[in-house]
Amino acid sequence: MRYLIGIGTYMGLDDSIGLRIAEEVAARGLDRGFRAIELPGNLLDLLHYFGPDTADMLVVDSARMGLAPGEYRFFSPDDVVTRKSLEGISTHEGDLMKVFELARELSVTVPPVTLMGIEPATIVPEMGLSRALEERFGEYLAAAAGFFGAERAR
């Protein structure tokens, strides 16, 4: 199985971008050959999609990467180090990198994972998206769904 996993929170303005992409990909029936899943709230649920039956995974999330707001990039978890400093892992104030760390420490089979990071313009406790991300939403959808098409063609 192949997965597109959107993470974030609907209440964080641009932090909702991953959820909105996963939701819209499924709603438009773009999820051909893969499953689109929203994972708000609890990042630990990502572990349920790890394992030998998972061929690969695209995780879509807002990411502060030092790019211009709205810009996006595909990268591997191994390409980056986190700047977040959390005591551990919690259910809400999470860090995706901690989930990968937990999986490795527990010897869980981690499938090939690609991250699609989208630079947020604003992360505040509001519903919706900033204009910078809203204007490029269609582009993100095509890129996220296209990832699987491109991967299939390889």
Partner 1 sequence: MLQNVDIDIHHLTRVEGHGNIVVNVTDGTIETCEWQVPENPRFFEAMVRGRHYSEVARITSRICGICAVGHTLASVTATETALGIEVTPQTRKLRTILKHAENFDSHVLHVYVLVAPDLFGAQSVFPLIPTHGEVVVRALRLKRLGHEWGSLIGGRTTHPVTVVPGGFTSLPSAADLAALRERLLGAVPDLEATVETILSVADKLPAFDRPTEYMAVHEDGQYGLFTGSVETILANGDRARYDIEDYLSITNEFMLPQSTAKHTRNRLRSYAAGALARFNVNYDQLHPEAKKVAEALGLAPICTNPYMNSVAQVVECVHAVYESIRLIDELLEDGLKDEGLVQPTRFGSGISAVEVPRGILYHDYSYDENGLCTRANCIIPTNQNHGNIQADFEDLVPQLLESGASEEDMALKLSMLVRAYDPCISCSTHYLDVTFVR
Which one, 55 or 91, has the nearer CB to partner 1?
91
Q: Tell whether residue 75 is a contact of partner 1 (CB under 8 A).
A: yes
Q: Name residues contacting partner 1, limited to 83-142 (CB under 8 A).
A: 83-84, 86-98, 101-102, 105-106, 108, 115, 117, 120, 123, 125, 127
SS (H, E, C) 84-135: CCCCCCCCCCCCHHHHHHHHHHCCCCCCCEEEEEECCCCCCCCCCCCHHHHC
Give yes or no for a contact between 56 and 151, defined as CB atoms under 8 angstroms apart: yes
- Residue 29: how many CB atoms within 10 A of its CB? 8
Interface ranges with partner 1 (CB under 8 A): 7-12, 14-15, 37-45, 47-48, 61-66, 75, 78-84, 86-98, 101-102, 105-106, 108, 115, 117, 120, 123, 125, 127
